[in-house]
């Protein structure tokens, strides 16, 4: 990458000279999370970077409406070159650019990051992309932060790649074979994570200072997808509000991502230490320590995988949800509708789907949720899977739901937007020891957007609303086939209002 950075810098120089003001990265999982970290951590740069990793039609439309297409570069990022969500987003935005600016110059508004020989590499050539970066095919997506997938977007926001890579090499040296295990930070962290998980402390809870909070989202994917398989796994818990030590069970290992010596989290973190909770602390000297931290945690995760006896570089259970989703989409294209299951209950447009056909139907969605939570046991965790528009208002309600569920049950509670989480924690959900309770939240968008069958074509066989609904249905089936506990609540067209009601039902009763 030290050699490749000159080509990346050349792209930045070209787009700046031609007046591009912003870039939109279209990608999922390992292709989008590191760019998101750079965008949040470095803020404004020569080119504003935004990430779109949702196929919710309202999210896609909102992004499209906010863009000045003449001054926007789209980065299409997928290792395989076949990721359905990424290619769907590409075809939609390619048609928008072509319609507004004309077909001849549309390709100049696109760059690709992919593996050599992939379908996207061929597509980039056929559509005259401005650039196609071919990544080392031996690098898995979640380990790709320091490859083209992370570094090309980083350069756009003004990251000095040479300085960043120097920090990464420092960490690589610290974890080198010449360093004994007791002095090797990556080995230490990896062994601690694995041995704590074996001892029952398998909920790795990340407490991140605001300046590096987005790094926790990248770490979540790395740990979940690398370790959650073969009936074991480390469950990363990100975004949970920090609580008093007594509010946590004996299944937690804490990680503090510390930005400074006098951060806002220091007092509650010290309280956890004083109460005897195990905690790993890593300190960032400045933003460029991201280079070292990416390498450190990748190395530690590989070590943890070895100690747990699993393969940290594969993802055997990811394909199950994809297969189910493809079958859903095929059924839609052949029959004109999705094979929806019958709801167990419907109240005011909200449909509830239980995971046992013979279960007694609930009176209300909130009663169904209460009954579902009663099935939890010690050492379990709750996963909120939101196939909803990822906007501030919805996320605020979901974070409140996460906090109240943790307080009410005492269980670690995670939150992920679909289909984004399918490329991060989705592997863990099907591959771990089966101790998760999954609350799937869906909606029915009032409007939809067509996905072009081919770039430049007006023909469409599938809209975004059907794509995301197929993914939610497919993931639910994959979870059920793996013997997981799943409660699906379809919030209908007025999803935000119904979500607020559901969250309010979790509030403690007033004295």
List the domains of the chain with CATH numbers: 5-159 (3.40.50.10490), 166-308 (3.40.50.10490), 318-504 (3.40.50.10490)
Mean pLDDT for 286-310 is 97
Determine the pLDDT at residue 186.
97
Q: Are 257 and 108 in contact (CB under 8 A)?
A: no
| pLDDT given for residue 181 in this prediction | 83
- 510: pLDDT strictly greater than 60: no
Write 282-285 long-range contacts (CB < 8 A, 24+): 282/255, 282/256, 282/257, 282/258, 283/258, 283/259, 284/211, 284/212, 284/257, 284/258, 284/259
Determine the average pLDDT of the residues in 14-42: 96
Q: What is the mean pLDDT of the chain?
A: 94
**Amino acid 187: pLDDT:** 97
The per-residue pLDDT for range 373-412, each reduced to its tens digit, is: 999 999 999 999 999 999 999 999 999 999 999 999 999 9
Q: Report phi then psi at 253, rounded to 5.
A: -125, 125
CA-closest candidate to residue 189, choices 314, 302, 284:
302
Whole-angstrom CA distances from 451 to 50, 420, 460 are: 21, 18, 6
Task: Render pLDDT for 232-247 as a digit per residue (tens, 0 to 9).
Answer: 999 999 999 899 999 9
| Cβ-contact 370, 376 below 8 angstroms | no
User: Where does residue 180 rank: exposed (0-12), middle (13-18), buried (19+ CB within 10 A)?
Assistant: exposed
pLDDT at 509: 58
Q: Is the pLDDT of residue 4 over 50?
A: yes
Backbone angles phi, psi at 35, to 5 degrees: -55, -40
pLDDT above 50 for 339: yes
**Mean pLDDT, to the nearest integer, of 28-46?**
92
d(CA 422, CA 119): 22
pLDDT band (50, 70, 90) for residue 319? confident
d(CA 79, CA 30): 9
Name the band, by pLDDT with cuts 50, 70 and 90, for residue 445.
Answer: confident
Under the banding of pLDDT at 50, 70 and 90, the label for residue 38 is very high
End-to-end alpha carbon distance in the chain:
61
User: Tokens in use for 30?
Assistant: 């390992």
Is the pLDDT confidence value at 191 over 90?
yes
Q: Is the pLDDT of residue 511 over 50?
A: no
**Quick one: pLDDT at residue 166?**
97
Q: What distance in Å separates the CA atoms of residue 143 and residue 229, rounded to the nearest whole number? A: 17
Query: Using alpha carbons only, what angle is made at residue 446 by residues 442 and 449, rounded to the nearest 5 degrees?
Result: 95
**For residue 132, what are the contacts with CB-CB under 8 A and spacing of at least 6?**
111, 112, 114, 120, 121, 124, 125
Q: Give pLDDT, residue 36.
A: 97
For range 475-494, the mean pLDDT:
96
Hey, what are 3's tokens? 């050699």
For residues 130-135, give the mean pLDDT: 96
Task: Tell me 112's DSSP state.
Answer: E
Task: Give the pLDDT band of residue 25 (cuts 50, 70, 90).
Answer: very high
pLDDT tens sequence across 109-123 = 999 999 999 999 999
Is the model's pLDDT at 139 over the cut of 70?
A: yes
Number of H helices and E strands in the chain, helices first, is 17, 17
- Note the Cα 484 to chain centre separation in Å: 21
What is d(CA 363, CA 430) in angstroms, rounded to the nearest whole number? Answer: 30
Look at residue 86 and tell me whether its pLDDT is greater than 50.
Answer: yes
Give pLDDT, residue 262.
Answer: 64
Contact indicator for 438, 484 with CB cutoff of 8 Å:
yes
């Amino acid at each position: 990458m030290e050699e490749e950075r000159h080509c990346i810098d050349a792209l930045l120089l070209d787009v700046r000279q031609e007046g591009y003001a912003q870039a939109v990265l279209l990608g999922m999982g390992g292709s989008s999370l590191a760019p998101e970290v750079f965008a949040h951590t470095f803020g404004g740069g020569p080119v504003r970077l935004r990430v779109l990793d949702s196929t919710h039609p309202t999210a896609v439309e909102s992004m499209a409406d906010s863009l000045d297409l003449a001054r926007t570069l789209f980065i299409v990022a997928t290792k395989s070159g076949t990721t359905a969500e990424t290619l769907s987003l590409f075809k939609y935005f390619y048609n928008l650019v072509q319609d507004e600016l004309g077909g001849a110059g549309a390709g100049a508004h696109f760059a690709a990051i992919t593996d050599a020989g992939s379908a996207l590499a061929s597509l980039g050539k056929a559509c005259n992309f401005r650039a196609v970066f071919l990544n080392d095919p031996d690098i898995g997506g979640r380990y790709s932060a320091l490859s083209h997938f992370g570094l090309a977007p980083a350069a756009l926001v003004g990251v000095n790649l040479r300085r960043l890579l120097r920090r990464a090499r420092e960490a690589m040296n610290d974890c080198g074979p010449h360093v004994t295990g007791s002095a090797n930070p990556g080995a230490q962290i990896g062994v601690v994570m694995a041995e704590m998980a074996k001892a029952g402390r398998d909920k790795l809870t990340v407490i991140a200072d605001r300046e590096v909070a987005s790094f926790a989202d990248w770490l979540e994917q790395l740990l979940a997808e690398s370790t959650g398989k073969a009936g074991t796994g480390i469950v990363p818990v990100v975004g949970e509000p920090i609580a008093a030590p007594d509010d946590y069970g004996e299944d937690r290992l804490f990680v503090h991502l510390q930005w400074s010596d006098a951060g806002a989290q220091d007092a509650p973190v010290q309280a956890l230490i004083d109460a005897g909770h195990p905690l790993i602390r890593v300190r960032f000297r400045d933003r460029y320590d991201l280079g070292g931290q990416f390498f450190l945690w990748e190395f530690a995760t590989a070590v943890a995988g070895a100690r747990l006896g699993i393969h940290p570089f594969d993802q055997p259970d990811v394909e199950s949800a994809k297969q189910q989703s493809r079958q859903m989409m095929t059924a839609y294209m052949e029959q004109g509708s999705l094979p929806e299951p019958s709801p167990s209950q419907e109240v005011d447009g909200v449909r509830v789907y239980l995971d046992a056909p013979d279960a007694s139907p609930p009176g209300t969605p909130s009663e169904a949720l209460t009954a579902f939570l009663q099935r939890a046991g010690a050492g379990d965790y709750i996963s909120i899977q939101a196939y909803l528009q990822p906007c501030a208002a919805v996320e605020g309600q979901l974070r409140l739901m996460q906090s109240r569920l943790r307080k009410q049950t005492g269980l670690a509670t995670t939150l992920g937007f679909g289909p984004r989480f399918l490329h991060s924690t989705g592997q863990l959900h099907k591959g771990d020891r089966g101790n998760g309770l999954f609350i799937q939240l869906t909606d029915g968008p009032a409007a939809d957007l067509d996905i072009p069958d081919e770039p430049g074509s007006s023909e469409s066989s599938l809209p975004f609303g059907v794509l995301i609904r197929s993914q939610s249905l497919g993931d639910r089936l994959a979870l059920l086939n793996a013997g997981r506990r799943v409660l699906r609540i379809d919030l209908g067209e007025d999803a935000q209002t119904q979500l607020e009601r559901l969250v309010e039902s979790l509030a403690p009763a007033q004295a």
